[in-house]
Amino acid sequence: MKPFKNLEVWFLTGSQHLYGDDVLKEVAQNSEEIAKYFDASEEIPVKVV
């Protein structure tokens, strides 16, 4: 259980259009996966978005 469940930390990443849409989609998918992993951790007391 997260003791500060009403608080959020946003996991932000970025990329450039130099590498094309496929790379941007991959970055977005990877970022979402990482944020979900952090959010599932009981060691992080806030929600990770």
List pLDDT tens digits, range 1-49.
Answer: 889 989 999 999 988 889 899 999 999 999 999 999 999 999 999 999 9
Structure pTM?
A: 0.83
Q: Which residue has the tokens 């060691």?
A: 43
Q: How far apart are CA 46 and CA 30, in angstroms?
A: 20
Question: Cα separation of 3 and 34, whole Å?
Answer: 21
Give the structural domain span for 27.
8-48
Q: How many domains does the chain have?
A: 1
Half-sphere exposure (Cβ direction) of 29: Cα atoms closer than 13 Å: 6
- Residue 3 domain-assigned (yes or no): no
- Cα angle: 21, vertex 10, 12; to 5 degrees: 30
In a domain, 19, yes or no: yes
Supply the pLDDT for residue 40. 96
Residue 25 maps to a domain? yes
Residue 34 lies in a domain: yes
What are the φ and ψ backbone dihedral angles of 21, each rounded to 5 degrees? -65, -35
Q: Is residue 40 part of a domain?
A: yes
2 occurs within a structural domain = no
